[in-house]
């Protein structure tokens, strides 16, 4: 077996029903002569004892592992076990851990000199210390700013704070596990979703929000529009992805006006809907091409 692509149990069930798994396997064999299996993360056991790290799938120990494993539903322990056993895991466990945490993301981006909105984290924890409101407004020189749950996704846990009541409510909701960020008003309701695969820029789309939502996530009703990207945007996306050594990366970029851009987030498990809608490229083919290219380098 050359590679596994691992999804969540519910996604695998949908893919079995739609016949997509067989199609992907056949496409891989017919077009690239590679053997790929598409499986659920749910059926694994992993064990460790002195000198032995083992992996079991559906109750049976796996003696011969694939060369590459792509995760589309992350499990840190399974990924780490595979890496320890010599498998090339994409994205790597470390890259995944770094990109999953929003504060870590902004720390890495800023440290590499990549443009990102000014971000603030309150070290002592802010569970009951809502009196920080004035200081946060002062830091941004604005009483409008963004508050994000540190581990959020799909726009669900991102808020535009405009008063102390909203600030207190959001902090209570996330028990202080959140960051504050400069509000990039010029990007209201839209951003650029870029795809960087194997370190290469492969496409981008504008995501436009539904109604008057400042967040442009498709999961919140936004839609994807064609985008004539320029080199500046492509370079920013590639730099952001490379800062984390991500193999599969969706970079969200905000418009700062005057042809200036800033990185809103790096996604290590990007959905491919925007890419498909604007360029016709299918996520499954993008992943198979990545496997084919990576096999050559191993
Ligand atoms: P998630 O992981 O939930 O997608 P993001 O940080 O990508 O979180 O934020 C979701 C959306 O909210 C972005 O796509 C963008 O439209 C908007 N957004 C996020 N941060 C800012 C910001 N600092 N200024 C303006 N809009 C923002
Ligand atoms: Mg996002």
**In the chain, where are the structural domains located?**
3-90, 119-183, 187-293
Grade residue 130 by pLDDT with cuts at 50, 70 and 90: low
Please say if the pLDDT value at position 151 is more than 60: yes
The residue contributing the CA closest to ligand 1 atom 25 is: 184
CB 182 within 8 A of CB 264: no
Q: Which CATH architecture has domain 119-183?
A: 2-Layer Sandwich (3.30)
Grade residue 142 by pLDDT with cuts at 50, 70 and 90: very high
Please say if the pLDDT value at position 23 is more than 70: yes
CATH class of the 3-90 domain in this structure:
alpha beta
Q: Give residue-wise pLDDT tens across range 67-103.
A: 999 999 989 999 999 999 999 999 999 999 999 999 9
Q: What percent of the chain has pLDDT above 70?
A: 97
CB 150 within 8 A of CB 176: no
Which tokens sit at 130?
A: 């809502």
The residue contributing the CA closest to ligand 1 atom 12 is: 215
Quote the CA–CA distance of 292 and 212 in Å, as a whole number: 42
Read off the pLDDT of each residue in 215-238 and give the average, rounded to a whole number: 94
Residue 76: HSE in the Cβ half-sphere, 13 Å Cα cutoff? 7
Query: DSSP alpha helices (H): ranges in 174-280?
Result: 231-243, 273-279
Instruction: Provide the 3-class DSSP secondary structure of residue 259.
Output: coil
pLDDT of amino acid 129: 57
Overall fold of domain 187-293? D-amino Acid Aminotransferase; Chain A, domain 1 (3.30.470)
Task: Say how many Å lie between the CA of residue 136 and the centre of ligand 2.
Answer: 23
Task: Say how many Å lie between the CA of residue 277 and the centre of ligand 1.
Answer: 21
Task: Give the range with max mean pLDDT: 118-127, 173-182, 190-199, 224-233.
Answer: 190-199
Task: Say how many Å lie between the CA of residue 127 and the centre of ligand 1.
Answer: 23
The residue contributing the CA closest to ligand 1 atom 26 is: 184
pLDDT of amino acid 128: 60
Q: Per-residue DSSP letters for 107-162?
A: HHHHHTT-----EE--TT--SS-GGGHHHHHHHHTSS-EEEEETT--TTTTEEEE-
pLDDT of amino acid 125: 62
pLDDT of amino acid 131: 65
Instruction: Provide the 3-class DSSP secondary structure of residue 247.
Output: coil
Read off the pLDDT of each residue in 174-187 and give the average, rounded to a whole number: 94
Which tokens sit at 68?
A: 């590459």
Quote the CA–CA distance of 255 and 257 in Å, as a whole number: 6
pLDDT of amino acid 210: 86
Read off the pLDDT of each residue in 283-294 and give the average, rounded to a whole number: 98
Distances in whole angstroms, Cα of residue 273 to Cα of each of 45, 88, 101, 183, 280: 32, 26, 23, 26, 9
pLDDT of amino acid 132: 87
Read off the pLDDT of each residue in 20-32 and give the average, rounded to a whole number: 97
Angle at 67 between CA 64 and CA 73, to 5 degrees: 100
For 27, counting Cβ atoms within 10 Å of its Cβ (0-12 exposed, 13-18 middle, 19+ buried), the class is middle
First-to-final CA distance of the chain: 14
The atom number, within ligand 1, closest to the CA of 184 reads 24
Q: Is 187 in the pocket of ligand 1 (CB under 6 A)?
A: yes
The residue contributing the CA closest to ligand 1 atom 9 is: 155
Residue 2: HSE in the Cβ half-sphere, 13 Å Cα cutoff? 18
Grade residue 229 by pLDDT with cuts at 50, 70 and 90: confident
Quote the CA–CA distance of 257 and 253 in Å, as a whole number: 12
pLDDT of amino acid 223: 95
| Alpha carbon of residue 5 to chain centroid | 16
Grade residue 123 by pLDDT with cuts at 50, 70 and 90: confident
Quote the CA–CA distance of 75 and 69 in Å, as a whole number: 12
Grade residue 28 by pLDDT with cuts at 50, 70 and 90: very high
Please say if the pLDDT value at position 4 is more than 60: yes
């Amino acid at each position: 077996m050359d590679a596994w692509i691992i999804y969540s149990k519910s996604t695998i069930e949908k893919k079995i029903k739609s016949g997509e798994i067989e199609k992907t396997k056949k496409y891989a064999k017919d077009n690239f002569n590679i053997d790929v299996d598409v499986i659920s993360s749910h059926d694994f056991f992993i064990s460790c004892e002195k000198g032995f790290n083992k992996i079991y799938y559906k109750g049976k120990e796996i003696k011969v592992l694939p060369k590459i494993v792509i995760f589309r539903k992350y499990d840190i322990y399974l990924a780490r076990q595979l890496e320890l056993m010599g498998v090339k895991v994409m994205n790597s466990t470390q890259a995944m851990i770094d990109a999953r945490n929003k504060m870590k993301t902004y720390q890495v981006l800023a440290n590499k000199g990549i443009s990102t909105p000014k971000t603030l984290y309150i070290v002592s924890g802010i569970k009951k210390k809502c009196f920080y409101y004035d200081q946060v407004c002062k830091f941004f020189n604005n009483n409008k700013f963004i508050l994000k749950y540190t581990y959020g996704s799909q726009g669900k846990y991102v808020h535009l704070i405009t008063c102390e009541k909203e600030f207190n409510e959001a902090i209570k909701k996330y028990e202080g596990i959140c960051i504050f960020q400069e509000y990039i008003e010029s990007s209201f309701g839209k951003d650029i979703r870029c795809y960087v695969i194997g370190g290469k820029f492969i496409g981008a789309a504008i995501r436009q929000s539904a109604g008057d939502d400042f967040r442009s996530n498709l999961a919140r009703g936004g839609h994807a529009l064609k985008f004539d990207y320029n080199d500046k945007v492509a370079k920013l996306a590639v730099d952001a992805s490379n800062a984390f050594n991500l193999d599969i990366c969706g970079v969200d970029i905000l418009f700062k006006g005057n042809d200036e851009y800033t990185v809103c987030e790096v996604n290590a498990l990007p959905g491919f809907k925007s890419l498909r809608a604007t360029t016709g490229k299918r996520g499954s083919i993008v992943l198979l091409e990545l496997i084919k290219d990576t096999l050559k380098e191993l």
